[in-house]
C-alpha cells in the first residue's frame, strides 16, 4: 500500500517537473520571438506568445524579473521608434541562452535533489516498518520470558517440596533395603538351572519360581530332564512352565541316562540337518557305518558327514538359510 502511494507521488512530481520544463521552454522561445520582432516585452505579450497564463509567470519571480530586465534594455519608453541594432540583439540572445542554461542546470539539480528526498522518504518508511516489527517481537519475547520465569518458580517450589518429602521418608527407604536384598537372594535361581530352563523354553512365573525355591538343585534338574523327554515324544504341550511345575510337584524322574540323552540329541540334530540339506539339494541319502555317517551328495559320491560340515554346511547355517 505504501509502495503504491510512493509511486503516485513520484509520478505527480515528474509530471509537474515536465510541465514546468515545457512552460519554461515555451516562455524562453516567446521572449526571443518578441525581441526579434521588436515587439514590447511585457508579461502579457510573453504569456500570450508562449500560450501560458500571466499567473504562471507571476508564480515564478525569477522569470518575472528577467522579463522586466529585458524590457528595460529595450528602452521602448525613450526610443519607441528606434530598432535594436544587430549587436544589441546578439547580446540579448546570448544573455537569454546563458539564462536558459542556468535555468536548465537549476532544474536538473532540483530534480536530482527531489529524487534523493524521495529515496530518503522511502527508506524512512521502511525503517519505521522494521522498527514496529522489532517492537512487536520484543514485546512477544518479553511475555515469553515472564511465562518461563513463572514456570521456573513453580518448578523450584515443586523440587523443594519433593526434597522435603524425600528427606522425611529417607529412613523408611533405608529400612526397606535389607528386606529387598533378602528377597532378591531368596528368589535367585542357579545359572545352570537358568540355562536348562531356557533350553526347554519354560518361562519362570511367580508360582513356578516359588516351587523352584522349595526344591533342591538335583530335584530341579531331574524334573527338567523328565520334561525334556516328555517334549521329545512329540506330545502337544500347552504350557511348558505348567508341565515343569507339575513335574516338580510330583518329583518326576528321567527315564534316560545322560549318555542316552546325548545320543538322542545327536540323532535328532542329524535328522533336522539331513532334512534341511536335502531341501537345499546338497544331499540325497544317508547311511550309518562303523566309521560314522555317510551322505550321498548331488554328484553321486558318498562323503563323510564331517567333510560336509567342514565345508560350512552346518546345522546353524542351514537353519539361517531356511529362515530367509
24 band by pLDDT with thresholds 50, 70 and 90: confident
Residue 268 neighbours by CB under 8 Å, 6+ apart: 232
Angstrom CA distances, 123 to 112, 118, 120, 127, 269, stand at 17, 9, 5, 6, 88
Strands (DSSP E) found in the chain: 283-289, 292-297, 302-304
The rounded radius of gyration (Å) of the Cα atoms in the chain is 58
For residue 108, the SS3 value is helix
Q: Which residues pair with 302 in a beta bridge?
A: 296
For residue 213, the SS3 value is helix
Q: Determine the Cα–Cα distance for residues 173 and 194; give it in Å rounded to an integer.
A: 31
Q: Which residues pair with 112 in a beta bridge?
A: none
Q: Can you read off the three cell numbers belonging to residue 24?
A: 519554461
How does pLDDT run across 127-176, given as a tens digit for each residue? Answer: 777 878 878 887 888 787 778 777 777 777 777 776 666 656 554 444 44
Whether the per-residue pLDDT at 82 is higher than 50: the answer is no
Average pLDDT over the chain, rounded to whole? 79
Would you say 212 and 193 are in contact if contact means Cβ atoms under 8 Å apart?
yes
pTM of the model: 0.28
How does pLDDT run across 260-289, given as a tens digit for each residue? Answer: 555 555 666 788 899 999 998 999 999 888
Considering only CA atoms, which of 262, 311, 320 is closest in space to residue 295? 311
Residue 257 neighbours by CB under 8 Å, 6+ apart: none
CA 131 from centre of chain: 28
Q: Determine the Cα–Cα distance for residues 284 and 308; give it in Å rounded to an integer.
A: 13
The backbone region for 103, taken as left when phi is positive above 0, alpha when psi lies in -120 to 50, beta otherwise, is alpha
Helices then strands, each counted (H, E), the chain: 12, 3
Amino acid at each position: 500500500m505504501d509502495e503504491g502511494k510512493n509511486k503516485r507521488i513520484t509520478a505527480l512530481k515528474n509530471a509537474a517537473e515536465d510541465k514546468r520544463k515545457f512552460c519554461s521552454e515555451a516562455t524562453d522561445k516567446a521572449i526571443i520571438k518578441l525581441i526579434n520582432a521588436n515587439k514590447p516585452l511585457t508579461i502579457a505579450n510573453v504569456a500570450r506568445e508562449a500560450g501560458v497564463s500571466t499567473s504562471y509567470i507571476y508564480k515564478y519571480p525569477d522569470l518575472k524579473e528577467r522579463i522586466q530586465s529585458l524590457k528595460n534594455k529595450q528602452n521602448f519608453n525613450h526610443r519607441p521608434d528606434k530598432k535594436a541594432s544587430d549587436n544589441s540583439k546578439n547580446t540579448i540572445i546570448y544573455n537569454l541562452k546563458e539564462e536558459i542554461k542556468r535555468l536548465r542546470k537549476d532544474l536538473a539539480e532540483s530534480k536530482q535533489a527531489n529524487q534523493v528526498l524521495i529515496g530518503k522518504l522511502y527508506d524512512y518508511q521502511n525503517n519505521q516498518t522494521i522498527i514496529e516489527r522489532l517492537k512487536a517481537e520484543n514485546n512477544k519475547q518479553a511475555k515469553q520470558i515472564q511465562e518461563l520465569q513463572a514456570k521456573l518458580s513453580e518448578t523450584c517450589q515443586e523440587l523443594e517440596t519433593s526434597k522435603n518429602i524425600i528427606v522425611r521418608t529417607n529412613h523408611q527407604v533405608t529400612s526397606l533395603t535389607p528386606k529387598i536384598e533378602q528377597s532378591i537372594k531368596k528368589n535367585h535361581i542357579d545359572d545352570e538351572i537358568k540355562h536348562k530352563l531356557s533350553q526347554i523354553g519354560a518361562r519362570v512365573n511367580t508360582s513356578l519360581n516359588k516351587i523352584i525355591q522349595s526344591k533342591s538343585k538335583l530335584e530341579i534338574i531331574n524334573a527338567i530332564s523328565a520334561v525334556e523327554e516328555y517334549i521329545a515324544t512329540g506330545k502337544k504341550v500347552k504350557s511348558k512352565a505348567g508341565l515343569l511345575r507339575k513335574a516338580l510337584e510330583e518329583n518326576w524322574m528321567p527315564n534316560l541316562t545322560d549318555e542316552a540323552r546325548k545320543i538322542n540329541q545327536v540323532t535328532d540334530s542329524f535328522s533336522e540337518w539331513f532334512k534341511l540339506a536335502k531341501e537345499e539339494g546338497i544331499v540325497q541319502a544317508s547311511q550309518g557305518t562303523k566309521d560314522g555317517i555317510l551322505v550321498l551328495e548331488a554328484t553321486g559320491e558318498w562323503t563323510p558327514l564331517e567333510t560336509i560340515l567342514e565345508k560350512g554346511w552346518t546345522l546353524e547355517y542351514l537353519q539361517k538359510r531356511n529362515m530367509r
